[in-house]
Amino acid sequence: MERRSFIQTSVASALTAAGTASAVDPPRLVREHYELRTYTLKPAKLPLLDQYLSKAFIPTVKRFSLGPVGVFVDKSNAEQTKVVVLIVHPSADHCAGLAGRLADDAEYRKLAAEYLAAPAADPVYARIESSLLGAIDGMPKLEKPAADKPRLLNLRIYESHNERAARKKIEMFNRGELAIFRRVGLSPVFFGETLVGGAMPNLTYLLVFPDDDGRKAAWGKFRDDPEWLKLKAIPEYADKEIVSRITNVILTPTPYSEI
C-alpha cells in the first residue's frame, strides 16, 4: 500500500471510529462532515485566490461529486484579508482523501497552474488554517441557503474548558436551543463538532441572514425569548459551566460561493 493511501486510511478510520456503530450499539444518524479552511492573505492577493477557488478548486470538487463549497470573506481587518472556505463531505474518508486526489488530477493542476506556481518570495497567502467537523445529531446535514439572494453569514465558535462541557453544549442545542434558533430567525446553515483543528474542544456553527439588520433583530428576539430564558436557567446548561470563549465573525459570500 502506498504511504499516502495508508495515511489517508488511518486518519479517516480514526476520525470515524467515534461515529461508527458496533454490532451492539444503537443505530446512529448518518452525519455530514465539513472542512473549514481559513486563508490569511494580503488584500492585493485576493483576486488570485478568487480565480483559483472559482476556476480550479470548486469545479474540480464538483467533478469529484463533493460540495457544495462556500467561500466567504471576513472584512473586519482592512490590512489583512481572511477568506473562509466551507467544503461539505459525505464522510471523513472523503475529506482525508481530497488533497491526494487534487494532487493526482491533471486537469486540476492545469486549471490551478498560476496559483500553484506562486514563488516563495511572493506567496498567495500566509498560511491556511483548517478544521474537520462532524455534524451534530440535531442537524446532520447542511441546509443550503439560496445563493442567488442577498445574504450575510455569521460564523460562531463556542470553546469549552473540557470535553464533558463541550458535549453538554452540543446536548443543549440538540435538545432545545436549535429549535429556538429556528423559531426566532437565527437560520442555521450547519452545526459541527470540531474533530480535528485548533481551539478544541469546540462547537462551530454558521447562520445566514438577509442583511445585518436582520441579524441584529434575530439575536435581539432570541435574547428575550421565554423558552431560551428557561433553558439557560437550567444549572447544567449555564454558559459559565460549559462555554469558556465565543468567537463571532461576520462573513460576506463571494459572488461565486455555492452557499
Q: What is the pLDDT of residues 132-190, one digit of tens each?
A: 999 999 999 999 999 888 999 999 999 999 999 999 999 999 999 999 999 999 999 99
Band of residue 41 on the pLDDT scale cut at 50, 70, 90:
very high
Is residue 22 helix, strand or coil?
coil
CA-based torsion, 176, 27, 192, 54: positive or negative: negative
Q: Quote the pTM value.
A: 0.88
pLDDT given at position 21? 41
Q: What percent of the chain has pLDDT over 70?
A: 89
Number of Cβ within a 10 Å radius of residue 43: 12
Band of residue 3 on the pLDDT scale cut at 50, 70, 90:
very low
> What's the mean pLDDT when you consider all of the chain?
91
Q: What is the mean pLDDT of residues 207-232?
A: 97
pLDDT given at position 27? 55
Number of Cβ within a 10 Å radius of residue 250: 15
Identify the H or E element spanning 9.
Answer: helix 3-17
Q: What is the mean pLDDT of residues 97-125?
A: 97
Number of Cβ within a 10 Å radius of residue 66: 20
Which of the 8 DSSP states describes residue 13?
A: H
| Cα–Cα separations (whole angstroms), residue 192 to 31, 65, 72, 106, 167 | 10, 21, 18, 33, 12
pLDDT given at position 138? 97
Q: For the chain, give every residue range classified as CATH 3.30.70.100.
A: 1-19+29-134, 136-254
- For 94-108, what is each residue's pLDDT tens digit? 999 999 999 999 999
pLDDT given at position 78? 85
CATH number of 1-19+29-134: 3.30.70.100
Residue 19: pLDDT over 60: no
> How far is it, in rounded angstroms, from Cα 153 to Cα 232?
25
Residue 46: pLDDT over 80: yes
Residue 20: pLDDT over 60: no
User: Which of 142, 176, 110, 179 has its CA nearest to residue 258?
Assistant: 142
pLDDT given at position 25? 52
Best-predicted range by mean pLDDT among 3-12, 114-123, 144-153?
114-123
CATH number of 136-254: 3.30.70.100
pLDDT given at position 18? 44
Q: What is the mean pLDDT of residues 111-136?
A: 97
Joined together, the cell numbers standing for residue 33 give 462532515
Q: What is the mean pLDDT of residues 66-91?
A: 95
Residue 32: pLDDT over 90: yes
pLDDT given at position 95? 95
Residue 22: pLDDT over 60: no
Residue 16: pLDDT over 70: no
